[in-house]
Structure 1
Amino acid sequence: MAPSPSSVNAAEAGSGRRAEHVAIIMDGNGRWATERGWPRLVGHRKGAERVKEIVRCAPDLGIRWLTVYAFSTENWKRSTEEVLGLMAIFARYIEREADRLAAESVRMRFIGDRSRLDPKLQRLMAGIESRTAAYDRLNFTIAINYGGRDEITRATRDIAHAIAAGLLKPEQVTDQLISQHLDTADLPDPDLVIRTSGETRTSNFLPWQTAYAEYDFTPTLWPDFTPAELAKIVGRFGHRERRFGGVVGA
């Protein structure tokens, strides 16, 4: 197996606290293309290539879970051409990357509401999830047609149905129970959230799960985001104090 693009930069991640679960809001694809006078879909295709590099380098940086925000529930407001183009890019990524992900022991999963997605894309998603289910070198999750409020609404509705059916009592509803009904039930909460492109919004991405996550906002547009920059950000995370509401040394 060829060395990952980050192998020479792994030392930059430092020896401090590890960011085992990194979540990324991949922003700036369209802007990257527009600045060069190209169609926005060119930027999205370039962004998909960047995902491959980041997935490959993540284990070298101590990352065990990588979750990326690919398409939000609000992105349907974009032009039909862009939406259809994005869906085609997602399908090609799955088809072309299936063998490599399996060969590198990467488990791939998806979160979000799949019901609005094309049936063929849904089948591809289910197929690669099944094929890679036994792997754990890296747990790679793509959020597609995902929105944090939508996710919490769906979880709350499921719990309400269970209460109405007499399977649960209201006093049994805890934060742990709610977490178990979210799309990320099998994933640990993110340690670090990175947003590219200079925007400083969280954009409805994992609002429940990131209650105590550290954030890092970079001006770099996603197609230009390199393994070396990821290593530097992970390294900075290692020097942060995470108190989770408590006091260090108390």
Structure 2
Amino acid sequence: MVKHLACIMDGNRRWAKARGLPPWEGHRQGSKTIEHVVDFCLEKNISYLSLYAFSLENLNRTSLELNFLFSLIAQEAETVLNWALKKGVRITFVGDSARFPSSVVPHFASLEAKTAAETKLHVQILFCYGGRQEICRSVKEIARKVKSGELDPEAISDTTVAEHLWTCAVPEPDLVVRTGGAQRMSNFLLYQAAYAELYFSEQFWPAITHDDLDKAVDYFYECKRNFGK
């Protein structure tokens, strides 16, 4: 059963280019797609949705594009809050918080605080996120606890590592969907997705539909999950 759907939201810029639009218009349309995917999860009784919104590598994009992306967050925050409360959706942000642009931090904090009591769906937005960096951070935190005597090295297990990840508040994903045609993980949930089913869609993120997501879920149920047994 799909309880946690994770999405690599790829193809915003190519969607815009195909229509003769600047890249940021793809991001604008892509932000609207999120609500449709939330509706899909609610209809299918999916409890967790993880969205790869912005990677650490994305910080290398042009200042023009980055400024638009960060201003878009400010513009859309109230809209997102309204539909989240109406639909019973909790929203959290995870990633390297030290790298969060100062302009978005108040909006993230407000969304988290005001939706904290919602229980129908937990949407985890990965921002300034990188899977390798997340694992390194977990290892450093564990090493610190070992050094201070808080943790016995012999007690360290894969669960210990998972408990120190940025994403420790949600279970591992059952299904990872990547839009945009590429077939790679791009530093997304590298530790958590060890046993997830992977589905790659040719559709760009702004164009993804319920039918496309239905195909991904159908694919999941066709897979035999034996977890290495």
Report if TM-score (shorter chain) is over 0.5: yes
**Alignment match, 2:152:** 169
Equivalent positions of 1:53-64 (< 5 A) are 53-64=36-47
Normalized against structure 2, the TM-score is what? 0.96
Out of 127-136 and 186-195, give the one that drifted further: 127-136
Deviations 1:136-159 (A, max 9, x none): 111111100000011111111111
Q: Percent identity?
A: 39
Deviation of 1:86 (Å): 1.1
- Out of 94, 108, 120, which is 1:125 matched to? 108
* 3-state SS in 1 of match to 2:228: coil
Deviations 1:62-88 (A, max 9, x none): 311110100001001111111111112
- Aligned equivalent of 1:86: 69
CA distance in 2, matches of 1:228, 1:94: 27
Please say which of residues 68-77 and 51-60 is displaced more in the overlay: 51-60
Once the two structures are TM-superposed, the CA of residue 203 in structure 1 deviates from its matched residue by: 0.2
What is the rounded CA distance, in whole Å, between the counterparts of 1:110 and 1:222 in structure 2?
A: 20
Residue 111 of structure 1: aligned partner: 94
Q: C-alpha distance in 1, partners of 2:115/2:98?
A: 22
Task: Say what the alpha-carbon RMSD is for the aligned residues.
Answer: 1.1
- For 1:62, the aligned partner's letter is N
User: Structure 1 residue 92: deviation in Å?
Assistant: 2.5
Number of the residue aligned with 2:33: 50
Structure 2: 5+ residue stretches without partners: none
Q: 2:82 aligns to what?
A: 99
For 1:70, the aligned partner's letter is A
After superposing on structure 2, the runs of 4+ consecutive aligned residues of structure 1 that deviate more than 4 Å are: none
Matched, 1:220 2:203: yes
Distance in 2 (CA, whole Å) between partners of 1:215 and 1:227 is 18
CA contact (8 A) 1:61 1:231 kept: no
Tell me what 2:162 maps to.
Answer: 179
My pick for the range that moved more, 49-58 or 65-74, is: 49-58
